[in-house]
Amino acid sequence: MKKRKVLLLLLLLVFGISSVSTQAATEVYPTNWWTGMKMNQIQLLLRSTDDELASKKVSISHPGITILKTHQFENARYVAVDISIAPTAKPGVVSIELKGKGKTQKIKWQLDPKREGNGTTYAQGVTSSDFINLLITDRFSNGDTSNDRVAGMRDQSLNRDSIYHRHGGDFQGIINHIDYFKSLGVSTLWLLPVLENDRPDRTEHGYAITNHYKIDPRLGGAAKYKELSDALHKNGMKLIMDAVYNHTGLQHFLELDPPAQDWMHRWPTFTQTTYREQTLFDPYAAPSDKKRMSDGWFDNGMPDINHDNPFMANFIIQNMIWYIQEFGIDGIRIDTYTYSDLEFANRCNKAIMDEYPNITMFGETRVFGTANQAYFNANNLDLPYKSNLQASVDFQCLYYGIIPALTEPINWTNGVNKLYNTASNDFLNKNPMQNVLLLDNHDEPRFFSVVGENVEKQKMGFQWLLTYRGIPQLYYGSEVLMKGFTNPYDGLVRKDFPGGWSGDAKNAFTGKGLTKDEGEVQDLVRKLGNFRKNSSAIKTGKMMHYVPVDGVYVYFRYDDDQTIMCVMNTDSKAHEVDFKKYAERTSTFSEATNIISNDKLNVSEKATIPAMQMWVLELK
């Protein structure tokens, strides 16, 4: 063995290559960048899995790229390099050299041409003109069985009989059914996080990221994700990314092998967040409660990111820009927004908006109260902290709006009056039309179960969702009456979309096996979703509503070209509708057409709306 080593050394010396290695396991993050970006000074994080980098001299040989500064860490396997990319820099392979201990390591890093179409073909923003469909990729459709399991990954489960194992859904399955989304009037897809979640179990939801620069191969990987993005854009549709500022997965390399211990929040023992957002604005809150809210871990498998660490902050901000540019993202939903450092969130949001002026962002502010929610949005409040987040997922209109409207007894403050009262607090927000409305999602009980599996109430829910102010969001499968409660298992609301797998007895794409009720609700969503696509009043018009009387709530969506009248009867008995009562909006019209049934009503006469039904009327 010794003779072999000596012989190998002699050969290397003879050929003069003993000092050069291009095969060492050194990773660079971001994995690539672009010319012509507004963010033209970035921080490269170099990580070696088998060598110390701290003692090595770093140099870059590429016209237009200059090293500004290098940084070392407690963990000598890391080094950070601040670089500047001049406007004159050309795309190509950039050579990064690490010299030390008689060796030179060469790393190839890519500088790409900037994607064309910022604000027009990507980073377009998502607005009230859109209709979002929220998908769990693993649970929607399996278009490529070859990636159901990926060798080397910690989770090798594949069992559709388990709500917590992987089921095999992927990007190809989504691509295969773009026509289905279009048939519903859907303009935008929001996928739960698709970055790598290489953990032992519960990997279907995607919120425990283990590599910010790798698309999960079980979903199809980066190339297929780009194909999905391109396919959506070619069909006039948009793509929303699900971003996570607050935490990573326990198996992330920055947790398993951190540059320093302060990249994540550390506690003497496991300390979970209080989940009490009030402590962030409560004038009486104890500082320790505020700290635990923001710095406590969301879950014992999700380390809490320390945004006060400037290197970690740079890592997340640059990753957001990289992700949008690499995959052509149009909008961003930000997970667990209230638990992040809010000053960091503002900085990150600003960096994104500076680079992509048309892009829109909405946060998961799963809080309890309209003022609570407004605090985290761009708002009209005079407070020391001012958020620049454009909007939120509107849990207020869910918890204190449509759910009580259809499930509570009617009195002065309950029932549909809660929906009226909640909407009346829109004065708190800069732009309530940007809030994202929902009936359900991956963390909430299915709406059909919440309303007691009452089909008429489900129909009313969808008619409200698709006509109220804001951006409507459909959760996959609710259009065919998928049901389930989150308690005791959240997996019960994350079941497979019927027809997404070969051999499914029920197929929502074709209608095979659907019950009469399932088909009717799907048809309602399809009809109203497509009507909405061409309705200026609903998409961008104003809203006027009237105080509910006896459980009957009337609101209008209108502009100079169109008026839509929505009548919601939440009572257990029929009620008379006198159009003259709403003369401010009805006086110039003579006829009303029901968008769903096509029935005609004479606006000069009274009409009777049955119990627990809703009308969406176009006035002519």
Which of the residues are catalytic?
335, 364
Q: How far apart are CA 36 and CA 452, in angstroms?
A: 55
Strand pairing report for 78-85 and 41-48: antiparallel
Kindly list the strands in the beta sheet with 238-244, ordered across the sheet, starting from the edge strand earlier in the chain.
391-392, 360-363, 331-335, 238-244, 188-191, 132-135, 471-475, 436-438
**Radius of gyration of the CA atoms of the chain, in A:** 27
If you count them, how many residues does the chain have?
A: 620
Contact 285, 308 (CB under 8 A): no
Closest CA to 362 of 295, 431, 297, 460: 431
Q: 189 by DSSP, 3-state: which? A: strand
Contact 501, 168 (CB under 8 A): yes
Element (H, E) at 450: helix 447-450
Closest CA to 183 of 555, 411, 511: 511
Q: How far is CA 408 from CA 83, 400, 421, 463, 570, in A?
A: 59, 11, 15, 19, 9
Q: How far apart are CA 390 and CA 430, in angstroms?
A: 8
Closest CA to 46 of 112, 101, 94, 114: 94
Q: How far apart are CA 361 and CA 609, in angstroms?
A: 39
The string of DSSP codes covering 499-562 is TSSTT-S-BTTTTBT--HHHHHHHHHHHHHHHHHHT-HHHHH-EEEE---BTTEEEEEEE-SS-
What is the distance between the terminal CA atoms of the chain, rounded to a whole angstrom? Answer: 92
Give 507's strand partners.
512
Q: How far apart are CA 427 and CA 417, in angstroms?
A: 17
DSSP state of 257: S
Contact 333, 190 (CB under 8 A): yes
Contact 381, 428 (CB under 8 A): yes
| CA dihedral (153, 155, 157, 158) positive or negative | negative
Structure token pair of residue 540: 């961008």
Q: How far apart are CA 219 and CA 125, in angstroms?
A: 25
Q: 286 by DSSP, 3-state: which? A: coil
Question: How many helices (H) does the chain have, and how many strands (E)?
Answer: 18, 27
Closest CA to 216 of 110, 138, 318, 319: 138
Q: How far apart are CA 495 and CA 484, in angstroms?
A: 9
CA atoms within 13 A on the CB side of 44: 30
Please report where in the chains the tokens 């010396």 appear, as a residue. 13
| Cis amide linkage into residue 488, ω under 30° from 0 | yes
